[in-house]
């Protein structure tokens, strides 16, 4: 384990996982908000919005994330001049990566939210309307409380997938865990297996408990019908 007794290596290891957490956090929040907006579009009575939501989901779900991240860098930044920070290239690449991750993940959030709304039996909303509730009241008091409970488990899977997908942002020069591991392997050819086990083990230690937590929450919050 001599690789990780070197403070410089320990520092890049820690900062690489901090970046994974930051990418996951930033992209997760944006994808959640945008995904809910997309879901609202997909269930709205306005055909144009439905079409836009459907098109977004179909395009982004069926495109490899590598390609999307790549387009964010070479398409948005290099060719079209979309810039988040002029003087800090690391910050710029970080947000370009977040853009790609969020655009991709939003498609999955949208589908999850939509399927959550669809699990609520139509009779529930009919009953709410029969009681004279307005659209907002029906949504707030009847549909959403039931829908959110049924999407806990899928949201957990989306979050875990997002954390793993964040490694792909390494392609555009963000020093996250996969690219740091590759660098350490190249510098320390005699300690390849310990390096891999530490990096992989960190992901296991982060993501397996997250999976169990969401599974437990989903079971606890499930609507009993």
Residues 141-160 that bind another protein (CB under 8 A): 143, 160
Q: Are 113 and 151 in contact (CB under 8 A)?
A: yes
- 73-103 burial string, b = 16+ CB within 10 Å, else e? beebbeeeeeeeeeeeeeebbbbbbbbbbbb
Q: Which of 1, 5, 7, 47 binds another protein (CB under 8 A)?
A: 47
Binding mask 77-116 for another protein (x = CB under 8 A): -xxxx-----------------------------------
Q: Are 63 and 75 in contact (CB under 8 A)?
A: no
Residue 121 Cα to chain centre, angstroms: 28
- Cα 14–Cα 19–Cα 22 angle in degrees, nearest 5: 125
Q: Which of 1, 5, 7, 46 binds another protein (CB under 8 A)?
A: 46
Q: Does 186 bind another protein (CB under 8 A)?
A: yes
Q: Which is nearer to another protein, 152 or 162 (CB)?
A: 162
Binding site for another protein (CB under 8 A): 43, 45-49, 52, 59, 62-67, 70-71, 74-75, 78-81, 117-118, 120-122, 124-125, 129, 135, 138-139, 143, 160, 164-165, 167-168, 170-171, 177-178, 181-182, 185-186, 189-190, 192-193, 195-196, 199-200, 203-204, 206-208, 211
């Amino acid at each position: 384990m001599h690789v990780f007794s070197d403070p410089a290596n320990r520092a890049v290891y820690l900062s690489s996982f901090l970046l994974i957490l930051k990418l996951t956090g930033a992209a997760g929040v944006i994808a959640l908000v945008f995904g809910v907006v997309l879901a609202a579009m997909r269930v709205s009575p306005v055909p144009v919005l439905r079409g836009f939501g459907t098109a977004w989901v179909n395009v982004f779900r069926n495109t490899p994330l590598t390609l999307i991240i790549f387009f964010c860098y070479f398409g948005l930044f290099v060719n079209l001049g979309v810039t988040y920070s002029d003087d800090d290239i690391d910050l710029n690449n970080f947000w370009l990566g977040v853009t790609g991750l969020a655009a991709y993940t939003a498609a999955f959030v949208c589908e999850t939210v939509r399927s959550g709304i669809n699990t609520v039996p139509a009779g529930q909303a009919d009953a709410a309307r029969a009681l004279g509730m307005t659209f907002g009241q029906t949504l707030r008091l009847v549909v959403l409380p039931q829908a959110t409970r049924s999407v806990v488990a899928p949201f957990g899977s989306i979050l875990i997938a997002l954390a793993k997908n964040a490694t792909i942002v390494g392609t555009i020069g963000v020093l996250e865990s996969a690219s740091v591991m590759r660098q350490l392997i190249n510098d320390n050819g005699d300690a390849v297996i310990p390096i891999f086990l530490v990096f992989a083990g960190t992901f296991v230690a982060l993501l397996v408990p997250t999976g169990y937590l969401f599974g437990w929450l989903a079971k606890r919050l499930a609507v009993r019908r």
